[in-house]
Amino acid sequence: PFFNKRRRTGRALASDGSRGFERWEMEVATRLVREFKRNSRSFANDEAEDLLQECLLRWFEVRRRFTPASDGPPLAYMAKVLRN
């Protein structure tokens, strides 16, 4: 998988062992995947872990463009990106 389970640091590890995602990023993505699976028939048959990886990959591509002054809190920005 793209990431491994969290260590004590609160970050998920990327497959190369580097720090990949903050704990809050994992929690937001996990919560949204549960929401997608619960509310959408099109995601009902997809594996939650696969959807989570897709969401985290998308966030990884977008998060460096985040600017706190104009985009609001990072948590809200991440949720907006992943919902779209």
Please list, in sequence order, all residues whose beta carbon lies within 8 angstroms of the beta carbon of residue 4, skipping any fewer than 6 positions away: 12, 13, 15
| pLDDT per residue as tens digits for the range 34-63 | 998 888 888 777 888 988 999 999 999 888
Could you tell me the pTM of the whole model? Answer: 0.68
Q: Note whether 55 and 82 are within 8 A (CB).
A: yes
pLDDT value of residue 75: 85
Q: In this structure, which long-range contacts are made by residues 57-63, counting pairs with CB atoms below 8 Å and at least 24 apart in sequence?
A: 57/2, 58/82, 59/21, 59/25, 59/29, 60/20, 60/21, 63/25
Inform me whether the pLDDT recorded for 74 exceeds 60.
yes
pLDDT-derived band at 28 (thresholds 50, 70, 90) equals: very high
> Diameter of the chain by CA atoms?
39
